[in-house]
Amino acid sequence: MTKPIPDKAEVALEYPDKFYVGTFDRSSRFDAHLDAAGLALTLERRGDESVRKSFHIHLHYDLLAQILHDLAATATAMKADDTAHRVALAEAAKALAAALVRKPAPATDRGRQREDRPA
């Protein structure tokens, strides 16, 4: 499910003979979720053909983990008085960490009893 982008995102894609840049602002939407292999991220600007665009990226878990480590190592580069962004990032990191250590609910088939459970 897509949600409004709360701030702004910029994407650049560079090839030897081409360069593409896209900006996604508050009128755009995003979806981010973890799947079986990693992080799936979509940025989307809706509208007529002249402004419509989308960006899709999938990062496997090991790369995502390395990116998070690199972010942690460079967090001190943020301005010390940038409290709002520091707090928002810290709260999001805490939520992710808490979700990762929770045990997932056991998988069951809806409408059928599991075979390892008595009827």
Nearest residue to 55 (alpha-carbon basis) of 12, 105, 1, 17? 12
Distances (CA, A) of 55 to 16, 35, 42, 90, 100: 20, 18, 6, 26, 26
Query: Alpha-carbon distance 88 to 82, whole Å?
Result: 10
Residue 97, in any domain of the structure = yes
User: Looking at residue 88, what is its pLDDT?
Assistant: 96
User: Looking at residue 104, what is its pLDDT?
Assistant: 75
User: Looking at residue 1, what is its pLDDT?
Assistant: 83
Residue 111, in any domain of the structure = no
Quote the domain boundaries for residue 88. Answer: 3-101
Query: Alpha-carbon distance 72 to 31, whole Å?
Result: 23
Nearest residue to 59 (alpha-carbon basis) of 31, 34, 39, 42? 39
Q: What is the domain count for the chain?
A: 1
Query: Alpha-carbon distance 60 to 36, whole Å?
Result: 9
Residue 17, in any domain of the structure = yes
Residue 53, in any domain of the structure = yes
The pTM score is 0.79
Residue 79, in any domain of the structure = yes
Q: List the chain residues with pLDDT less than 50.
A: 110-119
Q: List residues bridging with 21 in a β-sheet.
A: 12
Residue 82, in any domain of the structure = yes
pLDDT in tens, 104-118: 777 665 444 444 444
Residue 35, in any domain of the structure = yes
